Structure 1
Amino acid sequence: MRKTFLSLAACAFLALAFTFAGPNASAQKQRHAPIRLQAGTFTPTLGETLNNENTPQAEGEANGSGYYLVQFNGPVRAQWKQALTDAGAEIVAYVPDFAFKVRMSASQARTASSLQNVAWVGAFLPAYKSSPTLQRGALAAYTVRVERGADVQATIAAISAAGAQVVNFEEDILRVAATAAQVDAIARVSAVAWIENYVLPEKHNEYGGGVILGANIANANGYDGSTQIAAVADTGLGDGTKAGAHPDIPASRIVKINNWPGKTDICFTKIFNDGPIDADSGHGTHTSGSVLSNGGASGEGKGVAPAAQLVFQATENYAQVNALCLPPGTPTQGYYLTGLPDKLQNLFAQAYKQGARIHSNSWGAAVSGDYNANSAEVDDYAWKKKDLTITFSSGNSGTDANKNGIVDFGSVGAPATAKNVITVGASENDRQGHWECDTSLTYQSHDLYQTGETCSSMGGQNLLGTYGQRYPDSFPVNPLKNDVTAGNQEQMAAWSSRGPVDDGRIKPDLVAPGTWLLSASQNLYQEGYGDPKNPRLKEYAWDGWGMPRNEFYKYMGGTSMSNPLVAGAATVVRDYYQKAHGINATSALVKATLINSAVDMLDENNDGVNDDKYPIPNNHEGWGRVNVADATDGTRQFVEEKPGVETKKKRNYQYTLPGGQPFKVTLVWTDYPSTEAAARNLVNDLDLLVVSPSGAKYKGNVFAHGWGKTGGKFDAINNVENVYVQSAEAGTWTVRVRGANVPYGPQPFALVVQGP
């Protein structure tokens, strides 16, 4: 076995290449596996590199250590890792394929290169610390992550010495203002792990959970969220008090309202702390209502989990914003999510400490599928707290830019690109013709499509409009152009962000209605109901889509609206497992249950024909539309495997079937967090194999026409794997879960089976 070693002394600035023969080179077969980085993919054991020998190296740390890649000769075994750490290396992160980023000295690197089963050791170069798509400007804002366990203050000092300005930091996440040349200097700081453009998070709203999702049936069966606490991180809640949140979100069900005002820095130059009120759009009140509102007297606006308790985290305030941190043309003052911390784990930790085991997030940054620092943060916390189910809206960046009548792929925002969340897209709502507005309101609608209309002039019903009428630049051709924005539950919302994410993972995971969603309205600054105007804006609060239903409920749209419906569904599923089985369900089990019971939509391309042209799994709906009634009907078997499996280990489960019925198997695991530098973000790779009584083998995620098929390859990208057999033969089926490559084991998992 031949091993290549790139030496990096603490003060070195040039790469030097060395080649070593392992102690058992003649006995082992060399396995040539690539290193997959965002910066590029290369196979070092074949002599391939991304950088020439004159590439500047990262400066060593004060103790003489540096960062290296150590690649093993195949799927990682626990004893191989132990030998590496025994040699003095500190393992920092996994990098595919079969490699680790480690902290060690040059002499320790030489020792590591001689270890049995080590194929290659090389320096972790500055060029590996950012994506080739990193946008550089004369002066721009960046997010910089410091290596785990490194000296943050020393790293800040080194960045400052390079001329850049560290304007804010939370633990190992830095906000930095830098020129293009300074970015290169920052990359040469040894303890800098990753550099990315700072992208301001935004709400995912755009200018019928009970029936469509089956929540009414689940609630009637006793699964209403009463054993659960759900957290919502959003703009604000009503007037900021428990008593004034909303008439149908009673104070008795609100655990805590937390205020996150944020801190001033180069982006937010001034913040006006309004407290936890919902002063502008009513976004936070609306999303909270979708999760757990009691609903109005006639049942309108009822949440999916109407008996759950609420932890609210208010993150929006009026602010003055530096244009450096905004997309072109965005106002430099207004209401922004100033309170969202760079260290997102602190947000989740507060809610978790206050009892929440579901966390709903209808916001994100438009990064077109990137796995960024926020994505890694979310995955890290989910790994640590495996009983916290986190949901994120996928974003509203769907568009038909190439004018082919199909929404373009690859637009999911972050942190929705994380592996361990439920990423939620938006389908169309269908209220069976009920789009009523309040005829007592005499002012003209502020909805551009309804210009000049009052509620009465529209006949007491909001005019919905088509995607082409409302978004002419985004959807210029049919069938999207003339498709009405609501009324067909089998269709997707055209603007819902599509997958896949950059490493090829299937996203979104699930969808729920997100157009013309009726939910709770904030009780401040409402036009026509006797309120004053917002003193900061000198105008009334946003009416949402069209005109309000009444003083307490209004319509809104976006994946912001679909996400809380799925968060509510997750709350109900946890409630089901608590009441029916007496367990505190893991996020993997909740996610697997919702996916296994989801409905394959029939008109994802919005052409008006229910032909299922794009069967699951696909980049429009992922695994389908949530059906919480089926998720809680008690017909599914489940396994929570703890502690899980190691590399090359397996678990077998057998199920006896009568035959002739569908057999659906879903495997989900909460994966170890990836490094942002990796081009593939799956760390612990499990394989799902389902074997029929006659020996036919079905691998996870090998599908045709919406159902599993034999053949194909094992999935090495997703941490969700399904086998759906349309008509199972009678007899005993074997379900096998195997650890293909588990660098951080053992790996727990959840298995949900429908059919026995």
Structure 2
Amino acid sequence: MSEPDQPSLIRHAGRSLDPRTEPATGQGGRGVVQFHRPLTRAERDRMRREHGLALTDYLPDNAFVERLPSWRLAAVEGDPLVRAVMAFGADLRRSATGGRRTLVRRRSPRYEVSLFPDADLPAVLTGLAGHGAGEPVVVDDRPHGGAVKVRFALPEPAEPALAAIAALDDVRWVDEVGEPKLDTGPVTAAPATARAWAGPIWALGLTGAGQVIGVMDSPIDLGHRFFADPRHPVGPAHRKVTGYRNALEEQPARHGTFVAGIAAGDDPDQPGGHPDRGVAWAARLTYGNADDLERTGVLAYLAAAAGDGAYVHSNSWHDEPEIQYDQLSADLDTFAWQREDHLVLGSAGNRTERMGPPGTAKNVLSVAASRGPAPAGFGDGATGPAAGGRHKPELMAPGCSIRSTVVGTQAGVDLDRNVFVSRTPICASSWATPAVAGLAALVRQYYVDGHHPGGPLVPSGALLRATLIAGCLPDGGGQYPSDTGGWGVARVEETLRGPLRIRDVRHADGLDTGESAELQVDVAGGGRPLTVTLVWTDPPGMAGSDAPAVNALGLTVVPPGGRPPLPGNVFAGGFSTPGPAPARPDTVQRVLVRQPVPGRWTVRVTATAVHVGNPGQGYALAVTGDLAPAPS
């Protein structure tokens, strides 16, 4: 017996379609299989076993893109769990508007096709050549958990060829190759903040020692004293730089050098003593040139940084695709989903520009600039929301009038790189992002070195995000969280001083559709706000999705004494209030209680829909407030 029909649209590539009114898939082609509702793990297993479905390429709502040979089609359509089947046609494999990116460095556009995992690459290359594609470059990300991509040039007008290329069966998405834009912003008259705001965290004994931060930017001046090591080449023994990738062999540049100094620069003659040292001054760096991405791909670069020991990855640049959730976004989410212990950060862009990845990817922590430590006003960053209505950016950090390292040559004159630092007079999310990357390295040291009362642990990227966001409080700026400053200015010292209760659940032990888990916390008094922060790392969506969220978790906090439960992300005046659960598909949900009543509070995480699990959906919780010690 089939389930009752509840009309549900496919939202992809700028289109909204009801599969029941669309043509079915053709012989052996790609099809969209839509279900009546989210499937349980047992139901997913049965669909794979009986029908050979992969159930990995998710489309909202409740649908997956599958290869459907004719002998399989009738059985799939007749399954009682299936609502409808339609063709995954060429119009769903590229933007509905066909808009062009604004090019800065390249004179003419280049294009990219992303392929399905079972694609016949030689056949695709033959098909591309047959439609006039030239200068093909294959980026094979399968060793890094991704897909094969082919980048190529086309003669103008390109539109007829692009339409034909999108119809190739093995092509999943067609797009224009973007260019990284470095995120510097407007001039400000705010006072220099340097790294004074990080002092309270250093006082906790956290310096970044033992941590490596990956930086993808313009080339760093390795000769600058804050990064140099005259005794060792770049590598595992180097004082400051464990890896350096610059395939284009570009010269050291102002932006990357300044960014790297903010994250982890330090003077070897006075370790931890220079007033302009980086936030995680005892951490090390591994570097990649963002301009290399066109030929290398972001997954390979992130994997190389991980090989150098980096678990925190900073990106002070963004792209502006026509459809915001593009293949770059999907690749970034793939990296975070498959490497749960890693955290990727991206700048929110400039306030005169559109948002784009990396910062708009679901699992990337998006950072805007504040004018100083909390409380402080907004300084720079593009305005959200991100694709699907998600809250972006997620937090702010000081990014105005910052002092950091300056590249050692200017107009051919060699500067004194032993001491040369400078204050830039601008506000930039580019400066705030490495500052938060430095904070993330400090937080990771907090967990790995056993500063947390629970003892040493390897934190997930979700727990790092939750811990960074947990210290953010309303700043009186109106809507909370806002689409300019997110949850507010990072105040990590407030979280790490404790009390702090955490739960870090990997995907292997995660939740399935309909399941829930609880954490009991005892509140001793109302002297501090009670904050509960839930973060999860979502599976990658399909490039081109207008609503890229895949799995949905819900946060509910139940006060003692029969008081009404508080759902995540329902606020009035910056603090939680009872009400219906929010519609926004964020991977961050919070409950904030200004003056919590003493007693036992219940924190409940519920899996509303787990469409793609590994095998379940992991999550992290960070709870702060006037908490009694956890039961032994």
TM-score over 0.5 (shorter chain): yes
CA deviations 1:214-270 (Å, max 9, x no partner) are 4211112101111211111222221469996489x99843242322325xxxxxxxx
Preserved CA contact (<8 Å) 1:702 1:713: yes
Matched, 1:283 2:248: no
1:48-87 per-residue CA deviation (whole Å, 9 max, x = no partner) reads x4xxx6xxx99x8xxx632111111111222322232221
Q: Cα deviation per residue 1:375-428 (whole Å; 9 max; x = unaligned)?
A: 1101001111111111111111437xxxxxxxxxxx212221101111111112
Return the letter of the residue paired with 1:582.
Answer: P
Tell me which residue corresponds to 1:555: 424
Paired residue for 2:264, among 292, 298, 304? 292
Q: Determine helix, strand or coil for the equivalent of 1:412.
A: coil
Q: Tell me if structure 2 keeps the 8 A contact 1:39–1:127.
A: no
Using a 3 Å threshold, how does the CA distance of structure 1 residues 148 and 228 change in structure 2: closer, same or farther?
same
Amino acid at match of 2:210: T
Residue 97 (structure 1) shift = 1.2
Deviation at 1:575, TM superposition (A): 0.6
- Tell me which of 119, 139, 151 is aligned to 1:150: 119
- Show the counterpart of 2:484: 620
CA–CA separation in structure 1 for the residues paired with 2:205 and 2:109: 53
Superposed CA deviations along residues 542-573 of structure 1, whole A, max 9, x for unmatched, are xxxxxx99733342642111110000000000
Q: Closer, same or farther in 2 for the Cα pair 1:239/1:714, shift >3 Å?
A: closer
Equivalent residue number for residue 680 of structure 1: 547
Letter in 2 for 1:490: A
Name the counterpart of 2:360: 417
Give the letter aligned to residue 264 of structure 2: L
2:30 to 67, 72, 77: 67
Q: 1:188 aligns with which of 159, 162, 167?
A: 167
Match of 2:378 in 1: 492
- Please list, as runs of the form range in 1=range in 2, the aligned pairs for 1:563-712 lying within 5 A after superposition: 563-579=433-449, 580=451, 581-601=455-475, 612-642=476-506, 643-660=509-526, 661-693=528-560, 694-712=562-580
Q: Which residue of 2 aligns with 1:348?
A: 302
Q: Give the distance between the partners of 1:415 and 1:144, measured in 2 at CA.
A: 19
Larger radius of gyration: 1
Correspondence 1:161 to 2:28: no
SS of corresponding position for 1:592: helix
Alpha-carbon shift at residue 628 of structure 1 (Å): 2.4
Inter-partner Cα distance in structure 1 for 2:228 and 2:431: 18
Matched, 1:726 2:594: yes
Contact conserved, 1:90 with 1:104, CA < 8 A, in 2?
no
Deviations 1:614-646 (A, max 9, x none): 242000101111112123213211001232100
SS in 2 for 1:721: strand
Opposite residue 378 of structure 2, the aligned amino acid is M
How many residue pairs match? The answer is 587
Which of 201, 204, 217 aligns to 2:200? It is 217
| Range with greater deviation from structure 2 (715-724 or 33-42) | 33-42
CA distance, structure 2, for counterparts of residue 515 and residue 633 of structure 1: 26
C-alpha separation in 1, matches of 2:278 and 2:193? 7
Q: Is the 8 A contact 1:574 1:585 kept in 2?
A: yes
**Alignment-mate amino acid for residue 734 of structure 1:** T
**CA shift for structure 1 position 198:** 2.3
Q: 1:66 to 1:260 in 2, by over 3 A?
A: farther
- Does the residue aligned with 2:618 lie in a helix, a strand or coil? strand
Taking the aligned partners of 2:336 and 2:133, their CA distance within structure 1 comes to 33
**Structure 1 unaligned regions, length at least 5:** 1-23, 263-272, 316-336, 400-410, 431-487, 532-547, 602-611
Tell me the TM-score normalized by structure 1: 0.73
SS of the residue 1:576 aligns to: helix
Distance in 2, Cα, partners of 1:341 & 1:647:
39
Q: Which deviates more, 158-167 or 675-684?
A: 158-167
**Alpha-carbon distance between aligned partners in 2 of 1:35 and 1:292, rounded to the nearest angstrom:** 45
Aligned partner of 2:576: which letter?
A: G
The answer as to whether partners of 1:201 and 1:364 remain within 8 angstroms in 2 is yes
Q: In the alignment, which of 160, 177, 180 is matched to residue 201 of structure 1?
A: 180
1:190, distance to aligned residue in structure 2 (A):
0.8
**Local SS of the residue matching 2:71:** helix
Matches within 5 A, 1:365-376: 365-367=319-321, 370-376=324-330
Question: Helix, strand or coil for the counterpart of 2:604?
Answer: strand
| Corresponding residue number in structure 1 for 2:145 | none
| Contact in 2 for aligned 1:225/1:308 (Cα 8 Å) | yes
Larger mean Cα displacement after TM superposition, 93-102 or 152-161: 152-161
Contact 1:173 1:342 in 2 (8 A): no
How far, CA to CA, are the matches of 2:31 and 2:223 in structure 1?
50
- Whether the 8 Å contact between 1:237 and 1:245 is mirrored in structure 2 is no
Equivalent residue, structure 2, for 1:304: 279
Q: 1:341 deviation in Å?
A: 4.5
Task: Identify if the C-alpha distance between structure 1 residues 754 and 631 changes in structure 2 by more than 3 Å, giving closer, same or farther.
Answer: closer
1:733 is paired with a residue whose SS is strand
SS in structure 2 of the partner of residue 701 of structure 1: coil
Task: Provide closer, same or farther for how the CA distance between residues 345 and 187 of structure 1 changes in structure 2, counting only shifts above 3 A.
Answer: same
Structure 1: distance between partners of 2:440 and 2:465? 8
SS in structure 2 at match of 1:156: helix
Checking the alignment, whether the CA contact within 8 Å between 1:242 and 1:257 is kept in structure 2 is: no
For 1:255 and 1:246, how far apart are their aligned partners in 2? 9
Say which of 289, 292, 312 aligns to 1:358: 312
Contact 2:387/2:548 (8 A) holds in 1: no
Matched position secondary structure for 2:215 = strand
SS of aligned partner of 1:91: coil
Q: Supply the AA of the counterpart residue of 2:500.
A: R
Q: Which amino acid aligns with 2:335?
A: Y
* 1:654-707 Cα distance to aligned partner (Å, 9 max, x none): 122234342111100111000023221111111111112224121111112211
The letter for the 2-side match of 1:158 is: G
Amino acid across the alignment from 2:537:
T
Q: Which runs of 5+ in 2 are unaligned?
A: 102-106, 141-147, 187-191, 628-632
Q: Distance in 2 between matches of 1:350 and 1:185?
A: 35
Taking the aligned partners of 1:679 and 1:339, their CA distance within structure 2 comes to 24
Q: Residue 625 and residue 243 in structure 1: after superposition, are their counterparts in 2 closer, same or farther (change >3 A)? A: closer
Assess, with a 3 A threshold, how the Cα gap between structure 1 residues 221 and 150 changes in structure 2: closer, same or farther: same
Deviation at 1:754, TM superposition (A): 1.0
**What corresponds to 2:64 in structure 1?**
100
Q: Distance in 1 between matches of 2:595 and 2:496?
A: 23
Separation in 2, partners of 1:674, 1:375: 8
Identity percentage over the alignment? Answer: 29
Is the contact between residue 137 and residue 152 of structure 2 (CA under 8 Å) also seen in structure 1?
yes
1:181-238 residue CA offsets vs partner (Å, 9 max, x unmatched): 11110111111111222221122224766656x4211112101111211111222221
* Normalised TM-score (structure 2): 0.86
Q: How does 1:743-754 map to 2 (within 5 A)?
A: 743-745=611-613, 746-754=616-624
How far, CA to CA, are the matches of 2:358 and 2:479 in structure 1? 26
Distance (whole Å) between structure 2 residues aligned to residue 148 and residue 358 of structure 1: 28
**1:255-270 residue pairs with structure 2 within 5 A?**
255-262=241-248
Do the aligned partners of 2:468 and 2:491 also contact (CA within 8 Å) in 1? yes
* Cα distance in 2 for residues equivalent to 1:659 and 1:300: 39
Residue matched to 1:318? none
**1-structure distance, mates of 2:435, 2:181:** 19
Whether 1:520 aligns to 2:390 is no
Matching residue of 1:736:
604
**Residue in structure 2 matched with residue 253 of structure 1 by the alignment:** 239
In 2: Cα distance, 1:110 partner to 1:754 partner:
54
